[in-house]
Amino acid sequence: MKFLDVALPVLEIQPNQLPYVSALAALSDIQLELMLYGEAAQTLHTVQKITEESGNTYVLAGTHIQMAQLHLLQGDQGAFRSEIQRAVELSEEAGDLSMLEMSLSLLADYHSRMGEHQQALKLMLRMHALRPTSSLTTQITEALLARRRGDLHGAFRMFSAIVATANAQNNALLSARAGLQVVYTVYLMRDYEKTRELLPEALNAVLRFGTPGGPLDLRSDFDELSELFAFAEMEPQSAPVLASLLAQGAEYAGGSADLLSPAVHLELLVLGQQMALKDGVPLSFSLKNTVGVMLYLALYPGRTRREIQLDLFPDKDDKEAGNYVRKCIAEIGKVVGPVVVQEGPHNAPTYQYSPKVSVSSDYQLLRTRLAQDNLPGAVAAYRGELLPGLDDSEWVVNLREEMLGSVRATLNGLIQEAQERGDHARVVLLCTQGLKFDPDDFELAEIRLESARFASTAQEQARFRSEFKRRLN
């Protein structure tokens, strides 16, 4: 690293940029192995920019593969798909079989993880067509697909054969990767005695690389292997080895020991209710506003406890509000797991979700659809008032008003278009949909009543007049 730090400024100003690009590529390799993902992303973007200008498809394909691996480890599946598909195209253009095989392997593995087995098998056929005999990369991908399809005995035979071949070829990396998969397959077969026997050596094979958190090419497997690692933590022979691997990674991951923990998806349902789901499973909280705190952290990461309490519970006593926020965050940890990261000084810590956690909410979906002027989609997403029960929170009230303002802005444009066309029936329908969001919108009710005179039945007009009068009262 120090040598590269000295060499890079010199190489950057040379007319021939190839040595500079090669040095940057070496630097990105080191950064990825050391889990310096932010720095690696910047380096890879620089390499991509230079190689796109020079037309060096070989180097460019390699950087797209690395960016895809980076996005996969960070849980950004959309960016992963974009990068790896581009890597496939560039590898074909460069005519490099090894990189094409690597790209197809990563893409097939991804489709298999998503349960898209047919798409994964199509990619496997492409991989088999590349060479007369299958490489170890193709073989291990094929074994992974077999295991995920439920062919545990077949997968066990394939992984075991890969370990033997990799050892004969002195390929320690593929041997370690396949070795872990052998143990995991045995675990899935419920042969726990054999699992206990094989697990320490499989973990030691990873630890011997001396790479924080294990070699880069193994890390994408760790989420799937989390159940095996949980098993290891309870076994006297395996637990110390796993602890060493975790501690090794934590040194480079800002002290975080969740290196091998699985990625978590949280879904927050906050329109008309307060509910949270973890990987599709509903969660139960004892405090009524814990879900509100979860949404706040999703929208405003890195806020202090005091900022949270002032926004969410301004009417509570300062000490009482602080304690309540602390209890909510503690309950998140107890019920959901270690998904919230606390940083900063003890007297003013900040809170945000771990990089392993992705959070979605019906509120965010609603706002996205409104931004797209997709009123039918917004109506489908809307289930009622945002965070019911948090009426004393100025932050919540402001979000509700902003949401209704967005709805009304979208409606105004659509209503104006319909009025200019003389499409009174559409105006009535649009106003009716808008009143689902805000039943007290007097102006919308009035516009609907006016257009109903030209487009609605006498019975509908009577109903609209009755509803209008109720609003007047």
Q: Is 306 exposed, middle or buried (0-12, 13-18, 19+ CB in 10 A)?
A: middle
Model pLDDT for residues 1-21, shown as the tens digit of each residue: 555 555 556 555 566 667 776
Q: How far apart are CA 103 and CA 85, in angstroms?
A: 8
Lowest mean pLDDT among 11-15, 133-137, 311-315, 365-369: 11-15
Q: How far apart are CA 345 and CA 366, in angstroms?
A: 36
In order of 55, 294, 339, the CA distances from 288 in angstroms are 58, 12, 19
For the chain, the average pLDDT equals: 85
Is 366 part of a structural domain of the chain? no
Q: How far apart are CA 411 and CA 430, in angstroms?
A: 7
Report whether pLDDT(143) > 90. yes
The CA radius of gyration of the chain, in Å to the nearest whole number, is: 28
Using the 3D structure, point to which of 99, 132, 165 is the last residue of a domain: 132
Count of all residues that appear for the chain in the document: 473
Looking at the fold, whether 127 and 3 belong to one and the same domain comes out as yes
Greater pLDDT, 24 or 324 = 324
DSSP 367-413: HHHHHTT-HHHHHHH--SSBSTT-TT-HHHHHHHHHHHHHHHHHHHH
Q: What is the pLDDT of residue 14?
A: 61
pTM of the model: 0.55
What's the CA angle centered on 217, arms 213 and 220, to 5 degrees? 75
> In terms of DSSP bridges, do strands 264-269 and 340-343 run parallel, antiparallel, or are they unpaired?
unpaired
**Of 51, 53, 47, nearest in space to 66 by CA:** 47
Is 371 part of a structural domain of the chain? no
Looking at the fold, whether 118 and 24 belong to one and the same domain comes out as yes
Q: How far apart are CA 322 and CA 324, in angstroms?
A: 5
What are the tokens at 365?
Answer: 């979906």
Is 172 part of a structural domain of the chain? yes
Q: Please, which pLDDT band fits residue 248 given cuts at 50, 70 and 90?
A: low
Q: What is the pLDDT of residue 338?
A: 83
Q: Please, which pLDDT band fits residue 245 given cuts at 50, 70 and 90?
A: confident
Q: What is the pLDDT of residue 259?
A: 47
Looking at the fold, whether 280 and 247 belong to one and the same domain comes out as no
Q: What is the pLDDT of residue 154?
A: 95
Which amino acid appears at position 371 of this protein? A
Domain of 400: which CATH number?
A: 1.25.40
Looking at the fold, whether 6 and 117 belong to one and the same domain comes out as yes
Contact in structure between 452 and 460 (CB atoms under 8 Å): yes
Instruction: Dihedral sign for Cα 290, 296, 302, 305, please.
Output: negative
Contact partners, residue 375, CB within 8 Å, separation at least 6: 369, 410, 411, 414, 430, 433
Report whether pLDDT(443) > 50. yes
Is 375 part of a structural domain of the chain? no
Q: Is 110 exposed, middle or buried (0-12, 13-18, 19+ CB in 10 A)?
A: buried
Model pLDDT for residues 73-91, shown as the tens digit of each residue: 776 777 888 899 999 999 9
Looking at the fold, whether 126 and 171 belong to one and the same domain comes out as no
- What element of type H or E holds 453? helix 442-455
Which range in 29-38, 47-56, 317-326 is most confidently predicted, on average pLDDT? 317-326
> What mean pLDDT comes out for the span 99-114?
89
Is 381 part of a structural domain of the chain? no
Which amino acid appears at position 369 of this protein? R
Other beta carbons within 10 angstroms of residue 298's beta carbon come to 20
Looking at the fold, whether 335 and 395 belong to one and the same domain comes out as no
Q: Please, which pLDDT band fits residue 249 given cuts at 50, 70 and 90?
A: low
Report whether pLDDT(235) > 50. yes
Looking at the fold, whether 169 and 126 belong to one and the same domain comes out as no
Contact in structure between 267 and 360 (CB atoms under 8 Å): yes
The total of structural domains in the chain comes to 4
As a whole-number percent, the residues of the chain with pLDDT over 70 amount to 92
Domain of 351: which CATH number?
A: 1.10.10.10
Structural domain harbouring 124: 1-132
Looking at the fold, whether 87 and 175 belong to one and the same domain comes out as no
Is 137 part of a structural domain of the chain? no
Using the 3D structure, point to which of 262, 291, 322 is the last residue of a domain: 262
Looking at the fold, whether 248 and 281 belong to one and the same domain comes out as no
Is 386 part of a structural domain of the chain? no
Contact in structure between 64 and 96 (CB atoms under 8 Å): no
Looking at the fold, whether 330 and 420 belong to one and the same domain comes out as no
Report whether pLDDT(254) > 50. no
Q: How far apart are CA 125 and CA 9, in angstroms?
A: 45
Is 248 part of a structural domain of the chain? yes
Contact in structure between 262 and 223 (CB atoms under 8 Å): yes
> What mean pLDDT comes out for the span 455-464?
92
Q: How many CA atoms lie within 13 A of 190 on its CB side?
A: 0
Report whether pLDDT(50) > 60. yes
DSSP 212-264: TTS-HHHHHHHTTTHHHHHHHHT-TTTHHHHHHHHHHHHHHTTT---TTSPPE
> What mean pLDDT comes out for the span 412-427?
92
Q: How far apart are CA 325 and CA 293, in angstroms?
A: 8
Looking at the fold, whether 286 and 239 belong to one and the same domain comes out as no
Using the 3D structure, point to which of 205, 228, 262 is the last residue of a domain: 262
Looking at the fold, whether 148 and 225 belong to one and the same domain comes out as yes
Report whether pLDDT(252) > 50. no
**What is the DSSP secondary structure assignment for residue 427, as one 8-state letter?**
H
Residue-wise burial string across 195-226, b where 16 or more C-beta atoms lie within 10 A, e elsewhere? bbebbbebbebbbebebbbbbbbbbbebbbbe
Domain of 102: which CATH number?
A: 1.25.40.10
Q: What is the pLDDT of residue 12?
A: 55
